Structure formats: C-alpha cells, structure tokens
Amino acid sequence: MTDTTPAEPAARPIPTERRCPFDPPEEVGRLRAEQPISRLAYPDGAQGWLVTEYATARRLLADSRFSSRLELQHSPIRTPEPEPTPPGMFIFMDPPEHTRYRKLLTGQFTLRRMRQLEPRIAEFAEGLLDEMERHGAPADLVRHFALPLPSLVICELLGIPSEQREFFQHYTAEMVRPDLSPEQSAEIDRVVFGFLGELVARKRAAPTDDILSGLLVEDELSDDEAMGMVTILLVAGHETTANMLGLGTFALLEHPEQLAALRADPGLIDGAVEELLRYLSIVQYEINRTALEDVELDGQLIRAGEPVTVSLPGANRDPARFDRPDELDVTASQARQHLAFGHGVHQCLGQQLARAEMRIGYAALVRRFPGLRLEVAREDVPMRTDRGIYGVHQLPISW
C-alpha cells in the first residue's frame, strides 16, 4: 500500500531579510497567509515551529502547556550552550515559581513610584536634548538620546547614586555596541554585573527609596535572586525602550504626514505610542517557548519537547486582526490589543513605564526640533536585523 500522507514541509531558518526597514520580512507575511504555524529550523539543529498569526500567537502565549524555561529553550538566531535558569530570572520561569518573583516586582511598580518617575523622565529627556543641541547637528540620536534615556530611568529605579550614573550609562551603551567581539562582550558583562552585585550589597546594608531596596526589604531574597531580578530589569528595560525611541523616530521621519499630525496635535501622543509599538514590534526573535506535552494548536500537533517561536511582527501585522495592518496611522491608532508587550503571564511588567518614556521622549523631541530630519539616505541607516530586539544601531539626524 502506498503512503498517501502529504510530506511534511521542510523546516526553514527564521526569515530575517527585510525589504522595508519598518515591515517584517516578506516571507513572514507569506507564511502567515499559507501556513500560520510553519516548520522552523533552529541553528542548533532543533526543529520546531514558527507562529505568525495573531489569534494563534495569543492562544499559545496564554497556554500553560508551553514553557519559558531557559534550559528547554532554543533560539532561532543563536546557538547558546544549554544552561539552567539563573536564580531570580523569572522571565525564564513558569508558574508557580515565576508567580512569586513577578508578584514581588509588581508590588514595587506602584502608582506612587510611577507618578514620581514621570517628572524625572521629563527632566532626563530635556537634559539629554539640551546636550544634543550643544553638540550640534548632525548628531546620532541613538547615542545622544535613545540609549541614555532608558539607562537613566533604570538608574532611578535601582537607586544608583548620581556620581555613578555616567559609569553605568557608558557601560550599558557599550553592552549593545554592534562591533564587539565575544571577548569584549564578556568583559563588559563582567564589569556591569560586578557593579550590580556591589549595588545589591550596598542597598541591603543601607536601603533607600527605590525598587531594588524595596525588593530587598520586602522578601528574603538571596543576593543571587536579587541580582537575577535586577538583571532582568536592565536587559528587558534598556535595549527595548532605546530601540523603540530610535526606530520610532526613524519611522516618524519617514512618514512626514504622521509626524506633522503629531506636531499639530500633541494630544495624539498616547495613540501614536501604541501604533508605533504595533507597527514596529521590535521584539522580533525573543518569544520562544517549548511544549511540555503534546499539544494540538489550531489543528497542528506540536509534540512534547518541540520549540515554538512567536513572531510578534507577524502577529501585529495580521490582516485578520487589523484592518490596515501595514499602515502607520497615529491619528486613528488601530493598535488596541497589539502584542508588542507579549501576552499571558509573562506580558511586559514594565509596559506603563515604557509607555511613559516613549510618550515623554517622542513629545520632547518633536516639540524641540521642528526641523528634525534624517542626515543620511534611508538605506544607509544601520539596522539591527540580526538581533533579538530589532531597531537601529545609529540614527544620524539634523535639525
């Protein structure tokens, strides 16, 4: 008897080639139209699945049969050595372990703290733009504004004293430099994590009014657990917000009618932030899960142990969910329930803070630099195509 089962489509590496700096790779759109859960080949040799459709992505991210544990994870762009989840790094844990740490940190992101932070964010933004103005055009918006703003906000969250902020800012900017060798990268990590270790020890000995001190006072966290949580704040809160500020500005400059609308009516800023989050979906390759048991997801059998990667850029451009998915429209934002901050138990814990940084950051930039323009051709802006977090390495601007 001949076997009539159709051959399973071959697993392919994750699509990374983008034609337009703001759109997902075309291949992602094609896959979504043809097979919303498609075979994916990981660089470590594993075979799993890529989800490109909005509804499927939401269902998967809310399903506790898929794990976030680091030791089970495969990355579509890297071949890391399998390693156990470090203490406190709850982004790589499943409930109930995850729940304890997440609750602890949520308890520190109080309304009072967020209210206190907003005027500080505005001060930081104005101060950085003053410096950029003094430096004069042309300037790199990433170096002068997009990278240091979230770094200063993290200094504030962690209660890093002002005399150490320059050091912290310098090294957090070094961490995301595009040209580092693995040795240089390891050395920078050693300096930053050494600094954070000392900070934990100091806050334990003499707590102040900040999130880190609050965490140490509230619960019996070991130093390693506290370090894990601080590391997540830095890793999850810096590169992401910096790239939204950089790439978001690039997108506005390339959509002059949208920039003009925002300039004419600053009240559009909240919707503009949501629309930019949806349109750009910078977390491009980092949403990885592993099936803990056999799961049938939208008609596709995913076997226990198989990795799944969710394409947030794919989901947030799904025409089945958004009427004009490929249009950036800050005047009538269609971004409600976008997935740029993820979904389910791991949904971004810093999203209100990130929104405040973007709202305040874009608004200050647009207000202060009416002649803002790109200093190079659009094709010459160096893009972070191969990084887990998409964005721009540099954004040369004039005004």
For 168, residues 6+ apart whose C-beta sits below 8 A from its C-beta are: 151, 154, 155, 160, 192, 195
Q: How far is the CB of 24 from ligand HEM (least distance, A)?
A: 15
Q: How many residues does the chain have?
A: 399
Q: How far is the CB of 218 from ligand HEM (least distance, A)?
A: 16
Nearer to ligand HEM, 219 or 375 (CB): 219
How many C-beta atoms surround the C-beta of residue 81 within 10 A?
5
SS3 of residue 290 by DSSP: strand
Nearer to ligand HEM, 71 or 187 (CB): 71
The encoded tokens of residue 21 equal: 């700096």
Q: Which ranges constitute the DSSP H helices of the chain?
A: 26-34, 54-61, 97-108, 111-135, 141, 148-158, 165-175, 182-205, 211-218, 223-237, 239-253, 256-264, 269-280, 312-315, 351-368
Nearer to ligand HEM, 41 or 345 (CB): 345
Q: How far is the CB of 103 from ligand HEM (least distance, A)?
A: 10
Nearer to ligand HEM, 85 or 258 (CB): 85
The encoded tokens of residue 221 equal: 């966290």
Query: Which residue's C-beta sits nearest to ligand HEM?
Result: 350
Nearer to ligand HEM, 90 or 250 (CB): 90
Between CA 33 and CA 41, with CA 39 as vertex, the angle to 5 degrees is: 130
| Binding stretches for ligand HEM (CB under 6 A) | 68, 90-91, 102, 232-233, 236-237, 240-241, 244, 282-283, 287, 340-342, 346, 348-350, 353-354
Q: How far is the CB of 353 from ligand HEM (least distance, A)?
A: 5
Q: How far is the CB of 296 from ligand HEM (least distance, A)?
A: 22
Q: How far is the CB of 168 from ligand HEM (least distance, A)?
A: 14
Nearer to ligand HEM, 271 or 342 (CB): 342
Q: Is the peptide bond before 95 cis (omega within 30 degrees of 0)?
A: no
